[in-house]
Structure 1
Amino acid sequence: MDVGASRGERAVGSSRAVVLVHDRDRALGYRNIGTLGPELRSRGYELDVHSFDYGLGEVPPALDDAAMLVVMGSPDAAYDETPWIAAESAYLQTAIEMDVPILGVCFGGQLLARVLGGTVTESQFPEHGLIEIATSRPELIGPGPWMEYHGDTFVAPESATVIARNDAGQQAFVQGRHLGLQFHPEIDVDVFESWAVAWVRDGVEQDQDMVDVIRKDLTANEVELRVRCSALLDAWISGH
């Protein structure tokens, strides 16, 4: 898979953000990147969106002029041995070798941890809803609450620095310019509703009472959640 130049040959001053999403439906579900989209565009970034899970026949975006790589959530597990996850993992490895900063969100954070040498397993403590975390880098990641919706968890590699956690496990880590998150900073009501549509479409059962509570909480906290996402993005970008 030829996705660009070698390390040190990447374009400087690029404004192109490569975004990996995970859903066969281009209009619904996990292709919705929520507040990250307008927040990146407002900072002058052009989004180049690709999907490995239903796009193995497509040529992935070149990385040689990419300012960043953002890897979003997925209903699949980062430890699954499927062809598209292998292809996406190789793509992340190439980005790392080319020094392209990576932001991994939920599944994306898990896959980043795995590619860097960490582990991803089924969690003993699945998390759903707005949950606070303990952070050692509040200028990058505040205590939240942040939106959690996952059944798997990562353990960052020894080469990384864990900067946020809670009783359920690690919540964020950094390695160089890469940032892996277990939570969803991009969440808004529209994103959550697109997930709900995808669950119905794919026959995924959810606790409806829990879904209703989360929907209510997101509606009440949507402005604050976007402010947190914006602050996180600013801190991460400035760290490049």
Structure 2
Amino acid sequence: MSETNSRAVVLVHDRDPALGYRNIGTFIPELQQRGFQLQVHSFDYASASTPPPLGDAAMVVVMGSPDAAYDLNPWVGPETAYLERAIGLDVPILGVCFGGQLLAQILGGTVTKSDWPEYGMTDIESDCPELVGSGPWMQFHGDTFVAPDSATVIARNDAGQQAFTAGPHLGVQFHPEIDVDTFDSWAHAWARDGVEHDRQLVAAIREDLEAGERDARARCSALLDAWIGRQSR
């Protein structure tokens, strides 16, 4: 994958474009530092606009969402069709949380409510630490994916599968892009939409992120380096 002047399509999921952009988190500087031009699109709040072309895209990054991959929201179908086209064109997809769930579902896996929702920095075990490191990653989800048999599950914990690869694609259940501002953007959306979360839990997670933001950024950087590097082999 050539990095110079390459386009990285990023799909976000918030009706406020400003919050949607903030949700991309540390992926913004990390991808820009690697020479990628970001093209940000949403199938829900920008459904009237044309999504970026896929023919010469270097990658598609699919971010998290408060909605579920199995929800019957009108934008899920068009986004699914777009990602199916990307897969057909061998455009690498990185799916994050909801994005990982949607990728698993498109490839023939399943997405369901989790018996063990995960919130905060959570340990995982990895079979492929050079791509996805073991240890703590940021989690905030009530659904879970089961990757299709055609994929390779590379990370897991007691709550379920945490990462899988399928050809050039990578789906993760956690949020490598997290920083304090990203978490604050989620909190702003919760307040706007009347979504209740345990205040003590939210405060504790934010405190953990403040203390560990530098490490989280380094782990995100390493994951991107490894995933991008796989595309050029």
Q: Is 1:42 aligned to 2:33, yes or no?
A: yes
Q: Secondary structure at the match of 1:229?
A: helix
1:206 match: secondary structure: coil
Match of 2:100, SS state, is: helix
Residue pair 2:39, 2:52 contacting (<8 A) in 1 also: yes
> Cα deviation per residue 1:124-148 (whole Å; 9 max; x = unaligned)?
0000000110000000011131000
- 1:15/1:196 Cα in 2 relative to 1: closer, same or farther (>3 Å)? same
| 3-state SS of 1:58 partner | coil
**In 1, distance between residues paired with 2:84 and 2:60?**
11
- For 1:19 and 1:30, the matched residues in 2 are separated by 9
Cα distance in 1 for partners of 2:3, 2:225 equals: 19
Distance in 2 of aligned mates of 1:48 and 1:12: 15
Establish whether residue 215 from structure 1 lines up as the match of residue 206 from structure 2.
yes
TM-score of the superposition, structure 1-length normalised?
Answer: 0.93
CA–CA distance in structure 1, aligned partners of residues 213 and 190 of structure 2: 22
TM-score under structure 2 length normalisation: 0.96
Q: Is contact 1:30-1:195 (8 Å) kept?
A: no
- d(CA) in 1 for partners of 2:43, 2:17: 13
Match of 1:199 among 169, 179, 190: 190
In structure 1, the gaps of 5 or more residues are: 1-10
Q: Does 1:53 align with 2:44?
A: yes
C-alpha separation between the residues in 2 aligned to 1:12 and 1:105?
21
After superposition, residues 58-97 of structure 1 pair within 5 angstroms as 58-97=49-88
Task: Name stretches of at least 5 consecutive residues in structure 2 with no aligned partner.
Answer: none
User: Residues 26, 60 of structure 1: CA spacing in aligned structure 2 closer, same or farther, 3 A cutoff?
Assistant: same
SS at match of 1:157: coil
Is the CA contact (8 Å cut-off) linking 1:103 and 1:180 kept in structure 2?
A: yes
CA deviation vs aligned residue, 1:26-64 (integer Å, no higher than 9, x gap): 112575211011000000000000000112211111001
Alignment of 1:18 onto 2:35: no
Aligned counterparts of 1:49 and 1:219: Cα–Cα separation in 2: 27
CA separation in 1, counterparts of 2:84 and 2:52?
Answer: 14
Instruction: Tell me, in whole angstroms, the C-alpha distance in 2 between the residues paired with 1:30 and 1:150.
Output: 20
* In structure 1, C-alpha distance between the alignment counterparts of 2:208 and 2:20, rounded to whole Å: 20
Answer yes or no: is the 8 Å Cα contact 2:63–2:95 preserved in 1: yes
2:18 alignment partner, SS class: coil
Worse-matched range after superposition: 28-37 or 14-23: 28-37
Whole-angstrom distance in 2 between the partners of 1:13 and 1:61? 18
* Matched residue SS, 2:202: helix
1:123 and 2:121 correspond: no
Structure 1 residue 14, shift from structure 2 partner: 6.0
Contact 1:140/1:232 (<8 A) preserved: yes
Contact 1:13 1:67 in 2 (8 A): no
Distance 2:195 2:73 in 1: 20
CA distance in 1, matches of 2:116, 2:21: 23
Cα distance between partner residues in 1 of 2:152 and 2:22: 29
Q: What is the rounded CA distance, in whole Å, between the counterparts of 1:27 and 1:69 in structure 2?
A: 20
2:97 to 99, 106, 125: 106
Alignment of 1:155-170 (within 5 A): 155-170=146-161
- The code of the aligned residue for 2:38 comes to L
**Corresponding residue pairs, total:** 230
**% same residue:** 69
CA 1:17–1:56 in 2, change beyond 3 Å: closer, same or farther? same
